[in-house]
Amino acid sequence: MATLNTVLFDLDGTLVDSIPLIFRTYRRVFAALGLPWDPGALAAQIGIPLKVISRKFAGERAEEFYSLYQRYYHEEHDRRTRLFPGTKEALWELKRHGLRLGLVTSKTAAVTRRTLAFTGLESFMEAVVTVDDVRQPKPEAEPVLKALALLESPPDRALYVGDSCHDMLAGRRAGTAVAGVTWGLARREELLACGADLVVDRWSELLAFALDSRGR
């Protein structure tokens, strides 16, 4: 990898501790629609667009599934959304060393804006790409490539950080380095199997890698 100048992040499970809220919301939707609850099957889908998940699990009732999810999620968003410890401090440190930061998520633009504003992350992100901004979302490369285009950064100078296989695949397909975090959805072994160049257990490890790649 050439000298690093850009770090892109996934949102849920990477910067924001929202996986419990996501599962709680899905469980409420499944119960409301009388669908069999299978957390293992659902976990494999987290990180791809809600509309795709709605069709997969609800079929002809996909629109109802989608609407219920949005309603339940917004009802509890502020009460159950928080940053992982050390997130803001890590972002400050990256910016202090001249790295450009961006966000690539499969959430809708409206929910992303709400989460960024609520957590105070919006000021860190120079580029934000949501599911509404692309035709082929993660695990395809388009969202990552779009964020890089907005930042005018080549893939070989970028790192994409996420917590799922969908993130690892999107970054690799876009040509960036990819780092997995273990505090979100996937285990270390899964992230490595999906192509992670690096898997970290704490922000300090990611900072050390990014700043070494930056040349400090």
Please, what's the b/e burial string for 94-133 (b: 16 or more CB within 10 A of its CB; e: otherwise)? beeeebbbbbbbbbbeebbebbbeebebeebbebbbbbeb
- Its sign, for the CA torsion 171, 12, 135, 50, is positive
212 among known catalytic residues: no
* Residue length of the chain: 216
Task: Quote the tokens at residue 164.
Answer: 């799922």
The DSSP code for 104 is: E
CB 196 within 8 A of CB 171: no
E strand segments, the chain:
6-9, 100-104, 127-129, 158-162, 177-181, 198-200
- Rounded distance, CA 64 to CA 122, Å? 31
- Rounded distance, CA 176 to CA 120, Å? 27
Q: Kindly name the residue from 10, 12, 17, 163 that is annotated as catalytic.
A: 10
Task: Write out the catalytic residue numbers.
Answer: 10
